[in-house]
A and B are shown apart, each in its own frame.
Chain A
Amino acid sequence: MESSSKLGLAEAVVLLTMSSMARIFLTFPRALVEISGPAAWLSSITGMALAILQVYLFYLILKPNPGRNIVDMANEKLGNIAGTAVNIIFASFFIAEAALFTRTFSEALIISALPSTPISVLMTGYITMAILGAYIGLEALARSARVTYPFVLFGIALLLLGLIPKWDFQQVFPILGNGPVNVFIKGGHLAGAVTEILLAAVIVKSFHGPEMFFKITSRALLMGFAFLTVLLFVMVITFGWNTAQENTLPFYRLATLIYLGRFFQRVESVFIIIWGFIGMIKVALTLYAAALTLAGTLRLPDHRPLLWPLAVIIYTCSILPHDMPTAVRLESVLIRGVSWLPAVALPLIILIVSRVRKRSGPDESG
């Protein structure tokens, strides 16, 4: 198993950052602008605070038990039946996430770059790369992320800076957007639902101890949210929020607007490489986490036999939604509605049970 190879701080942070960046390339920023109006970037900051709280929750669970991940904790603290149930919820959450991401990434490619390519081909590409990545392992994924990160960073910086001539800072106003309730509560709730925390809690065995969990995850989230905030800000000041909420793929639309003289324009296709790559890393990592969770639940020593069947399940699930809007809606339901179960409720139960047991433990023995 992978437990022997540990990830360095930089690799782990970048891996999780890239994974959490995946959503900014899709329809997610649009949804946030729709809710919060020109103040979408404030929602993102609120979301970051919420996410850090979640990290702390997981940290409380993981800290006293070095060498165990959240799956082991659930098995251990909740007992066999409840623990397995919880873990299966975790795993299916990852599966759903991977399936929806595969679908939306493929749809996005069709919309933006490859209009006459069948979606099954694109999805096959994503799933195959995910299997490959998850098979070769976390270490290689993290290193790949680390190696490509400067290019991704350069690409995004290029995109944002290339738009400077089109910036209009007045577009940020009214400062509170659609009102504090929308911005801070609804928007924050939407932005704060990140799956990377649960993911990090699953792969925590590859970090150098649970102390690193907090360090790595919070840093990755800070970076991921910084990207999201900057992107939302640039999006609003470039488009104006009214048009921004119309665009299916805001990142792509931003890229199409780059116009720096006669030769440097229409560069959006180059960004396909960046988001294609990030999408592959994201799907591979989620597949890996799903396999690892399931392997932990079934107490298998190796996650790799599970990759084929899981990939087939993900592929099948991802092809189920009828159309892109359905997939997008499902994703927002998953993230806004359901994700709080595995991301907050279940960990909270684990935490409470473990605290109660700890307190009652000595009584029983004494």
Chain B
Amino acid sequence: MKAVKILSVLIIILSLQGCWGSRETDEMAYVLAMGLDKGPDGNITVTFQIANPKVIAGPPGGGGGGAGREKPLITVSTIAPLPIAAFNIMNVERSRQISLLHTNAFIISEDLAREGLAPYLNPLNRFRETRGTAFVYISRGKASDFMEKNRPELEATPAKQYELISRSFRLHALTSVVQFHKFYAGTKSRDRQPVAPLVDINNKGLERGASTPGALGDYLAGDMPSNKGESQFLGTAVFRMDKMVGTLTGNETRYLNMLTGEMHFSFLVLPHHLKENSVVGVSLLQARKPVIKVSTEGERPIINIELFVEPALVGTPSGTSYENNVHMGVIEKEISRALSEGCRQVVARSQEEFRSDIFGFGRYARKNFLTVQQWRGYDWLGKYPGAEVEIKVNVRIRRTGLMLKTAPNV
């Protein structure tokens, strides 16, 4: 059949011209994380964490460990006007083609973020190798320092660490998680301003930080008492368009996550409503996404928020038997009051201090407009700081843990 001839001719033609752009894995160097710092003369310092697969995969064939002292990661920095340019110029130093295909974290220093990120985000979004699903972190110190010192002990590579951190966020809700595409869209959007998690290395050890915390997790990254040298992912950097305008502590981030509906599980410690110096520990679950209604009819927008929280009792060191109906009602009311107070404070900060709608209330306001032009004309971002916010928190304790009754001391 003629078709076979055509096929063979095609294959011959194609194979005569060689291979185009095939890249063997042993010709590549994979960047796992990329850090952006402020550099001299308006340039930026770009740091790459390159994986050394020889070490990560272990010695081949299972035979004796010859690899020995080689480090699994190589951290290198350079100075360039653009992040992609830096990546390109790094090929001068490395024998292998440097690839961003597996970069899954961008770590940006706070200094740079406060000046505005637009010039750096655009090339990252355009370049085909960088990924929209990579995570963005804001480092309180220098990003290069963080990357140098961040040594996950359980994971073979920081790539896995970053991915797992993004999941462990579900366990405490004290930080936020943002992927690059969402962050990038946020810097261009008028209805939901971006936030990014804060990271830093703990330099202070177990001693208390500057302030005494009022609530659990009321720290910024790096401040939480812990072993020296641990990297911490805690708190949130708040942006207005592409500029960082402030930070939220872990405790405030919890309320942020609650209001955006992204909180899965969190732990809260409340002062006891009867006894001085005693606390009640509850774990929080968000039963439903928050119901948010925005009215744009009046001069000032009115935002109505209804939250649904299902706490579970975790610790009652005071010995009060909350399990009975009377006390249950009291504690529910108490939790509701505390939560709405917390939320109100965070919203107030965003309105007055940051002037930035990090909760995405604007998304709900869009419903009130028919066309994009009308919505643009409304200038939500300008009106948001003046908005009236009403928060209602519905609390219902569903479970009390393994104890149905706290027996009094006999």
Binding site for B on A (CB under 8 A): 37-38, 111-112, 114-118, 121, 124-125, 128, 131-132, 135-136, 166, 168, 170-171, 173-180, 239-243, 246, 253, 256-259, 262, 265-266
Contact = CB atoms under 8 A, between A and B. Distances in A.
Interface residues of B, number: 35
B16 to A, nearest CB: 11
Given A121-B20, A128-B10, A266-B131, A242 B371 contact: no
Interface string B35-51: 00000000000000000
A136 B10 CA distance: 16
A258 B131 CA distance: 11
A136 B188 contact: no
B184 interface: yes
A226 to B, nearest CB: 25
B373 A178 contact: yes
Contacts of B14: 121, 124-125
B370 A176 contact: yes
Nearest to A244: B185
A116 B21 contact: yes
B20 A118 contact: yes
26 contacts: A111-B128, A121-B17, A131-B6, A135-B3, A136-B3, A170-B360, A170-B363, A171-B363, A173-B363, A173-B366, A173-B367, A174-B367, A174-B369, A174-B371, A174-B374, A175-B367, A179-B371, A180-B371, A242-B185, A243-B184, A253-B132, A257-B132, A258-B133, A262-B160, A262-B163, A266-B131
A168 B364 CA distance: 11
A240 B133 contact: no
Nearest to A241: B372
A32 to B, nearest CB: 14
A173 B369 contact: yes
A253 B131 CA distance: 10
Residue picked from A121, A173, A239, most chain B C-beta under 10 Å: A173
B133 A259 contact: yes
A166 B185 CA distance: 13
A38 B372 contact: yes
- 6 smallest CB-CB distances across A and B, nearest first, come from A116-B21, A170-B363, A117-B20, A173-B366, A174-B369, A243-B185
Nearest to B163: A262
A112 B185 CA distance: 20
Interface string B8-19: 001001100100
Given A114-B20, A124-B13, A170-B367, A266 B128 contact: no
Interface of B: 3, 6-7, 10, 13-14, 17, 20-21, 125, 128, 131-133, 160, 163, 179, 181-182, 184-185, 188-189, 360, 363-364, 366-367, 369-375
A257 B125 CA distance: 12
Contacts of A258: 133
A265 B6 CA distance: 38
A117 B21 contact: yes
A250 B226 CA distance: 45
Given A114-B21, A132-B6, A256 B189 contact: no
A170 B366 contact: yes
B382 to A, nearest CB: 18
Given A112-B128, A117-B20, A242-B189, A176 B371 contact: yes
B185 to A, nearest CB: 4
B373 A179 contact: yes
A178 B132 contact: no
Residue picked from B133, B179, B181, most chain A C-beta under 10 Å: B181
Contact of A239 (B3, B17, B185): B185
A175 B370 contact: yes
Nearest to A131: B6
Nearest to A174: B369
B371 A178 contact: yes
Contacts of A253: 132
Contacts of B125: 246
B313 to A, nearest CB: 31
A256 B10 contact: no
A37 B372 contact: yes
B375 A174 contact: yes
A265 to B, nearest CB: 6
A256 B133 contact: yes
B172 to A, nearest CB: 20
A140 B160 CA distance: 47
A175 B366 CA distance: 9
Contacts of B188: 242-243
B214 to A, nearest CB: 33
Contacts of B360: 170
A128 B10 CA distance: 8
A257 B371 contact: no
A135 B366 CA distance: 53
Contacts of A117: 20-21
B22 to A, nearest CB: 9
B363 to A, nearest CB: 4
A228 to B, nearest CB: 21
Contacts of B375: 174
Contacts of A243: 181, 184-185, 188
A190 to B, nearest CB: 17
B369 to A, nearest CB: 4
A241 B131 CA distance: 19
Nearest to B374: A174
A166 B262 CA distance: 12
A135 to B, nearest CB: 8
A43 to B, nearest CB: 14
A37 B375 CA distance: 12
Contact of B133 (A125, A179, A257): A257
Contacts of A135: 3
Contacts of A131: 6
A118 B160 CA distance: 35
B112 to A, nearest CB: 22
A111 B21 CA distance: 13
Contacts of A171: 363
Given A114-B20, A174-B366, A257-B132, 16 more contacts: A121-B17, A128-B10, A132-B7, A136-B3, A168-B363, A173-B363, A173-B367, A174-B375, A176-B370, A178-B372, A239-B181, A241-B372, A243-B188, A253-B132, A256-B131, A258-B133
Contacts of B181: 239, 243, 257
Nearest to A265: B133
A135 B6 CA distance: 11
Given A115-B128, A262-B160, A174 B370 contact: yes
A177 B373 CA distance: 8
Contacts of A175: 367, 370
A112 B128 CA distance: 7
Nearest to A183: B371
B95 to A, nearest CB: 19
A257 B185 CA distance: 13
Nearest to B376: A174
